[in-house]
Structure 1
Amino acid sequence: MKKYLAALSTTALFSIAPYALASSVDLTVTGVITPAACKPSLSGGGIVDNGKISAKDLNRTTHTLVGTHPLQLTVTCDAPTQFALNPTDNQAGTESSRSWFGLGMTDAGEKLGYVRVDVKNTQADGVPAQAIDSEDDGTSWSKTFVTSPGYILSVGSAADHSTPLYVQHLTMDFEVSTQIAPANSLTLTGEVNMNGSVTFDMMYL
């Protein structure tokens, strides 16, 4: 039955568009296998603990900064390598302010706040460098002082912010700030857990 239907379809194709079979489309598969491997890590296991915050200490109509914590990002490669880190917000859609990482939701379905990650001192193989990011998957790069969703993060020289460096050992000092949404927008009748989570995936350029 299937073969009969297929034959009918082919006949119809010839009668309606006799030149259709003369056209074609190519599938091209490219890529590069790199001998180098890089391993990213965060100091303190990447954990930021803001402790317990009393609801009465939150601003009613504006965001409240409840903690600022330093973390150091380290990337170690087998050899000098051109790479970037792609931050994925595991709580996407819960951020109470655009451009930053989400902090989860209250039990009532309200956006709890956001996490901002500032990039401070950057060193590439022991030399002062500049954090750079790209929103077009590496086609163009610019100087940055933060890392945020939708932008891949890399490092350029202090003088050239347009091209990622080949680096074997990178350190970036992060400053992680936690902001809670205005208290008048939240249901705070019980304990509410902060649940921010960001994954930095390694990309070889």
Structure 2
Amino acid sequence: MKKYIAALSTTALISVTPHALASSTDLTVTGTITPVACTPSLSNGGIVDNGKISAKDLNPTRDTLVGKHPLQLTATCDAPLLFALNPIDNQAGTSSSLTWFGLGLTDAGEKLGWVRIDVTNTIADGVAAHAIDSEDDGKTWSRTWVSSPGYLLSVGSATDTSTPIATQVLTMDFEVQTNIARAESLTLTDEVALNGSVTFEMKYL
């Protein structure tokens, strides 16, 4: 009986005060279509081959650096444009380091290691510049020497690394470092393939 009375009381309140309960919110859709486009590319087809690595050469208790390879990233635009590169780790969740890109898993589900991409030189339209990155989707920027998962990568001038500059042709020299997790954490009774993969996606600012 008490539940029935409570239900009636609620209905009565709704019927006499509809305007007090009414509210709204707006959705706004924005964006810009630009006639200018950029195309990124990597030297050597973006392939880093560390060759055959003997399990006995891996450090049992520490990560082992097994290769340093140069690559050059080039982004060519139709005209000067503000843009960034979004590095996507296609092996997310497999890195044995919290900071860097993954190398895939062993058949036993163990994290093989990690890949670090250092930025050793940056040229914007033929002029020396600096690599900059942003961890908050482009709200703030600072100088960087690496490309990291979750950080937008762009270019700032030699005198101002807090703001991206419009660029038509950007080149960045990379050094790709491959590191294998400590051997004692891996099952290495059979051959294991390293499977690191990173996509650099264009993002227009």
Q: What is the TM-score when the length of structure 2 is the normalising length? A: 0.92
Match of 2:98 in 1: 98
Q: Residue 27 and residue 44 in structure 1: after superposition, are their counterparts in 2 closer, same or farther (change >3 A)?
A: same
Match of 1:151 in 2: 151
CA distance in 2, matches of 1:112, 1:27: 44
Runs of at least 5 residues in structure 1 that lack an aligned partner in the other structure: 1-10
CA distance in 1, matches of 2:173, 2:17: 63
State the Cα distance separating 1:12 from its structure 2 match. 8.3
CA distance in 1, matches of 2:150, 2:13: 44
Larger Rg: 2
Q: Any idea what the Cα deviations from partners look like across 1:31-84, whole Å, max 9, x if unmatched?
A: 111111000000000000000100001001001111100000000000000000
Q: Any idea what the Cα deviations from partners look like across 1:155-199, whole Å, max 9, x if unmatched?
A: 000110111010000000000000000001100000000000001
State the Cα distance separating 1:25 from its structure 2 match. 1.0
CA distance in 2, matches of 1:90, 1:12: 57
Match of 2:180 in 1: 180
Q: Residue 184 and residue 13 in structure 1: after superposition, are their counterparts in 2 closer, same or farther (change >3 A)?
A: farther
The Cα RMSD (Å) is 1.5
CA distance in 2, matches of 1:20, 1:92: 49
> Is 2:179 the partner of 1:170?
no
State the Cα distance separating 1:16 from its structure 2 match. 8.0
The letter of the residue matching 1:133 is D
Match of 2:132 in 1: 132
The letter of the residue matching 1:196 is G
Match of 2:112 in 1: 112
Q: Residue 38 and residue 18 in structure 1: after superposition, are their counterparts in 2 closer, same or farther (change >3 A)?
A: same
Q: Which moved more, 1:13-22 or 1:141-150?
A: 13-22
State the Cα distance separating 1:19 from its structure 2 match. 2.1
> Is 2:78 the partner of 1:59?
no
Match of 1:3 in 2: none
Match of 2:160 in 1: 160
Q: Residue 162 and residue 12 in structure 1: after superposition, are their counterparts in 2 closer, same or farther (change >3 A)?
A: farther
Specify the SS of the correspondent of 2:32: coil
The letter of the residue matching 1:197 is S
Match of 1:49 in 2: 49
Specify the SS of the correspondent of 1:15: helix
The letter of the residue matching 2:40 is P
The letter of the residue matching 1:96 is S
Match of 1:30 in 2: 30
CA distance in 2, matches of 1:123, 1:26: 44
CA distance in 2, matches of 1:13, 1:88: 53
Q: Any idea what the Cα deviations from partners look like across 1:119-162, whole Å, max 9, x if unmatched?
A: 01100000000000000000000000000101000000011011
Q: What is the TM-score when the length of structure 1 is the normalising length? A: 0.92
CA distance in 2, matches of 1:16, 1:192: 72
Q: How does 1:189-200 map to 2 (within 5 A)?
A: 189-200=189-200
Specify the SS of the correspondent of 2:129: strand
Match of 1:82 in 2: 82
Runs of at least 5 residues in structure 2 that lack an aligned partner in the other structure: 1-10
CA distance in 1, matches of 2:94, 2:150: 15
